[in-house]
Chains A and B, each alone.
Chain A
Amino acid sequence: AQSVTQPDIHITVSEGASLELRCNYSYGATPYLFWYVQSPGQGLQLLLKYFSGDTLVQGIKGFEAEFKRSQSSFNLRKPSVHWSDAAEYFCAVMTTDSWGKLQFGAGTQVVVTP
């Protein structure tokens, strides 16, 4: 079955430390991959996306993600987190079988401590 898995429900990180959020997918067709961020009580905002080309993609707010086809992963990273990065992060996948329809993971809640 097609799926998007975010193994970590909740991550706590100190301000200034690095952050890595994991995302794994299981799709037969070529995946197009996304990371979105949601602040409490708000809608989601696109951080970055991967369609093709360089497997390391840069996004907004200092985030980057790396696509690893061999591992079916698209992990999100930030070298140094700020208190404003506290939010929920969602990985999403679109495939050629489902143009215009995104499948979302369950999300990872990030807490930033002083």
Chain B
Amino acid sequence: DGGITQSPKYLFRKEGQNVTLSCEQNLNHDAMYWYRQDPGQGLRLIYYSQIVNDFQKGDIAEGYSVSREKKESFPLTVTSAQKNPTAFYLCASMPDRNTGELFFGEGSRLTVL
């Protein structure tokens, strides 16, 4: 079955540690996205990539980094510079940027202690 796989589903880390969230897709989509979800704030775009080896900052990129070395993979690193990293993180892909239809993974919940 085609889809987006995010791992881990739950992650606990101490303050000051970097954390990498995995996102893999087998949908053959060019574009991939990372969103952060906090209660009452909807989804906010962290980073996106429309092609391999290229990515752009979204609205809240500070304290985060990404890479896009393969079409299938778009990992997100939450660095120690992110002031409030506890959140639900969603990865998504889009087959064609003209469609606007995002396909989402099931999310990763990060809790920083």
Contact = CB atoms under 8 A, between A and B. Distances in A.
Question: Do A and B make up one complex?
Answer: yes
Interface of A: 4, 6, 9, 32, 34, 36, 41-46, 49, 51, 90, 92, 94, 99-102, 104-107
A60 to B, nearest CB: 12
A106 B40 CA distance: 6
Scoring A34, A101, A107 by chain B CB atoms within 10 A of each residue's CB, the highest score goes to A101
Contacts of B106: 41-43
Counting contact residues on chain B (CB < 8 A from A), the size range is 20 to 34
A59 to B, nearest CB: 12
Given A43-B107, A92-B100, 19 more contacts: A9-B40, A34-B100, A41-B106, A42-B106, A43-B105, A43-B106, A44-B90, A46-B102, A51-B100, A90-B42, A90-B43, A99-B98, A100-B50, A100-B98, A100-B100, A101-B45, A101-B58, A106-B40, A106-B42
B101 A43 contact: no
Interface of B: 4, 31, 35, 40-45, 48, 50, 58, 90, 92, 94, 97-98, 100-102, 104-107, 109
